[in-house]
Each structure stands twice: as structure tokens, then as C-alpha cells.
Amino acid sequence: MCLSPISERWPVSSYQVVHKPEQCSFVADCDGQQALLTYRLLGGSRVDFNHTFVPKAARGSGIAVKLVTTAAQWARDQGLAIEASCWFARKVLRL
């Protein structure tokens, strides 16, 4: 398996995604910078994943996918239907 320089520097398994419900976000530290996914709770047991951001130096590392999949698992565990106004989250979740 050939690893890119980014994945060698930041293997996706090394990221710890933390849910911050008070900020409606999931975050991961990337060498002192923050990658994040934000969401908003909608009526009727629905959630909208509305934004993802990854610092330039960590782009291509897979952290954005990990943020989306972690948030999706949380939403499913809460019994929430997922919507995604964020294009990247929509692509990952194939919505």
C-alpha cells in the first residue's frame, strides 16, 4: 500500500473526534488546528449536517470523512433522520 505524505503524517486512525453538543459540532485536532463538522437540529427528529472544514495542511487525510461518519453514527444512535446541506457530507452519506 502506498501512503501519501499527508496520510503518513496524519493517519486517520490517529484523529480523535469529539462531539461538542453545546456548539452543535464534531471536532478533531489537527496539529493545533481544528477540523470540524457543524450541524443543526431540525424539528421532527431530524438533523442537518451543514458545514465541514479541514485545515489546509490536513486536507486529503480522510479526517473529513471520519467527522461525517462519526456524526452520522451519533445521529442514528439518537434516532435522528439525517439531512445534509453540506455538499461534502451529502457526498459521503450518498444522500
Q: What is the pLDDT of residue 93?
A: 96
Q: What is the pLDDT of residue 95?
A: 78
According to DSSP, the β-strands at 33-42 and 25-30 are: antiparallel
Nearest alpha carbon to residue 83 among 37, 42, 25, 36: 42
Q: What is the pLDDT of residue 39?
A: 99
CA 62 to chain centre: 10
Residues of the chain with pLDDT under 70: 1-13
Domains present along the chain, CATH in parentheses: 5-93 (3.40.630.30)
Q: What is the pLDDT of residue 70?
A: 97
- List helix spans (H) across 1-95: 5-9, 63-77, 87-93
